[in-house]
Structure 1
Amino acid sequence: MEPTPIITSPLTPEDFAALSRAKEALESPTLTMKLASVIGAPIEKLMGRLPGAAQEKIDEATQLALKKCLQIALRTLGKGASAGSLLAPPPDKPSNLLHKLAVATTGAAGGAFGLFALPVELPVTTTLMFRSICDIARSEGEDVHRVDTQLQCLMVLGMGGTRRDDDNADLGYFIVRGALAQSVSRATSEITTKGLAGHGSTALLKFLQTIASRFSVQVSEQVAAKSVPAIGAVLGAMVNTVFIDHFQQMAHGHFTVRRLERQYGTAAVERAYQTIEVMGGR
């Protein structure tokens, strides 16, 4: 019996080029490196100068921000394109620049008021980033009314954020994605089974905690970048622009891979992905 074509068919040159761009985005320099290049100072050193209570405030703000995004996700499920701007008919391309400008505005406020602005700024910034990720997912053919797609969008916020002592810190996209996939699957199953009543399920809460623990690492780096004395509104806006651009790149890469997997199968895409060499990666 011949193998199934969808699994064995090689990617077209156009799709292989798309996969190459996706890998470049997913394996691009870390947020730490990107922020350091903008502010001209090592992020690790700045993080060491944060007040002792800063991490607790960051963790609390991160949890609040992700819960707000989850509420948006649950409200949109199954409602169709008339449910609001998040579910508007997809444009030819995602509105990356529009979302960047909006996040830059919140960053200007954060730069002016520092850590004190975090509980107000971060939920707004994260919601805007979540909308941008959904926009990117839709542009790659995803149905944003599906539970799985919404959770995949949230998962993007947890991709690339690892503690310094995390054994998975230097692992590739497919390994990190695989580590998060089980919690996504369990949460999707509970919401699908229980409907919106499942929003307080153990699986969903565990998923949210997993994403929050990873996302807070990168929020900490963002806060540290804004801790530069007299950073001001302009540099605060620049830091936020780098922040959302990082996650937009991750979203483009992730949802391009998923689009190609729907066409060629996961195994074929992963094999092709592993053959691509990326310059200047992590």
Structure 2
Amino acid sequence: MLTETDLADLRSAKNLLENPSLAARISNVIGAPIEKGLSMLPDGANEIIITTTRKALETALDFAISTMDDEPQQRSSDWLHKTFAGVSGAAGGAFGLPALAIELPVSTTIILRSIADIARSEGESIRSPETRLVCLEVFALGGSASNDDAVESGYFAVRAALAKSLSDAVEYMASRSVTQNTAPPLVSFITQVAARFGIPVTEKAIAQALPALGAAGGALVNTLFADHFQNMSRGHFTVRRLERAYGQCWSNRFTTACDVGCCVKSRA
């Protein structure tokens, strides 16, 4: 059975993974439903966002963790990364969609570094190929539709959907000292992550395209963007830490063997 401390951590992870969606949080800040901003995006904006999102993930995978040391369980610097993300978001708010191709790779790299920082604080080795890709996987956890159940659709289903491509990409990275983003296993994994990540990126782009926001509003939106994925990351890596500690479910109510993650809803 879980200790009281670990049960409290599990409850905290569940709450983080069930946080309101990015669109809802942005709507609360700007005082209007984010869907109203769809008309602000020019023709061809979706194609720009898809292309930019994929390139941002490829760039972030190469650079975000390269200067970090591998000392697990250090305290993560969440506010520092949110501050840097906010600064990069000021450019997006000042120049709108045209700035996305420049701003998004920067903010994605900053957020991925923050995700890795949180992973390290939860005992992950950031030099591990698996951990590096699981950090990237966090970006896929933020794309649930507003009517989805946050745990079932926004977390467990996404992990299951990515499991095969993640495993193939980890195997590829573990067998090579140099990572090539054009390798089929990594292309497949990044493509799946980008498809989910593109949803909150579009929501961010819509908010930053609103004329009333400007640079200050863009910084605020990007801070929310960073905070959203930090929450997903903290919940995700807490569950992974408990999976390492407890392995299979401890409750006889489950008829098939599964990891501790599937117990979040019932135990927390």
1:180-219 correspondence runs (5 A) = 180-196=162-178, 199-219=181-201
- Correspondence for 1:40: 31
With over 3 angstroms needed to count, the CA separation of the structure-2 counterparts of 1:199 and 1:67, relative to structure 1, is: closer
Query: Would you say the 8 A contact 2:58–2:181 is kept in 1?
Result: no
| Equivalent of 1:61 in 43, 52, 56 | 52
Comparing 162-171 and 24-33, the one that deviates more: 162-171
User: Which 10-residue stretch deviates more, 184-193 or 121-130?
Assistant: 184-193
1:263 lines up with 2:245 in the alignment: yes
Cα displacement (A) at 1:89: 4.0
Shift in Å at residue 91 of structure 1?
A: 6.7
Q: 1:191, 1:199 within 8 Å by CA — same for their partners in 2?
A: no
Deviations 1:156-215 (A, max 9, x none): 011131578999996252222111121110111112224425543211111011111111
Distance 1:93 1:144 in 2: 14
CA shift digits 1:233-266 (9 cap, x unpaired): 1111110010000000000000000001110114
Q: Which amino acid aligns with 1:67?
A: E
Aligned partners of 1:168 and 1:176 also within 8 Å: no
CA distance in 2, matches of 1:170, 1:264: 21
Partner of 1:230: helix, strand, or coil? Answer: coil
Q: How many residues align?
A: 259
CA contact (8 A) 1:161 1:214 kept: yes
Is the Cα–Cα contact under 8 Å of residues 18 and 151 in structure 2 kept in the other structure?
no
> Normalising to structure 1: TM-score of the pair?
0.85
Task: Describe the shift of the 1:109–1:257 C-alpha distance in structure 2 as closer, same or farther (beyond 3 A).
Answer: same
Q: Give the counterpart letter for 1:32 in structure 2.
A: A
1:1-282 superposed matches below 5 A:
10-72=1-63, 76=66, 84=67, 86-87=68-69, 89=71, 92-162=74-144, 171-196=153-178, 199-268=181-250, 269-270=260-261, 272-276=263-267
Structure 1 gap ranges (5+): 1-9, 77-83, 278-282
CA RMSD of aligned residues (A): 2.4
In the aligned structure 2, how far is the partner of 1:247 from the partner of 1:228? 23
Percent of aligned pairs with the same amino acid: 46
Which residue identity is paired with 2:49?
Answer: I
**Residues 255/228 of structure 1: CA separation in 2 closer, same or farther (3 Å cut):** same
Query: Is residue 88–residue 106 contact of structure 2 (8 Å, CA) maintained in 1?
Result: yes
Q: Give distance in 1, aligned partners of 2:248 and 2:206.
A: 38
Unaligned runs of 5+ in 2: 251-259
Relative contact order, higher structure (CA 8 A, sep 6+) = 1
Q: Which amino acid aligns with 1:125?
A: S
> For the Cα contact (< 8 Å) 1:157–1:247, is it kept in 2?
yes
User: 3-state DSSP class of the match of 1:229?
Assistant: coil
User: 1:30: how far off?
Assistant: 0.9
Who is 1:81 aligned against? none
Separation (CA, whole Å) in 1 of partners of 2:10 and 2:150: 23
TM-score scaled by length of structure 2: 0.89
Distance change (3 Å), C-alpha of 1:235 and 1:254: same
Contact 1:90 1:135 (8 Å CA) reproduced:
no
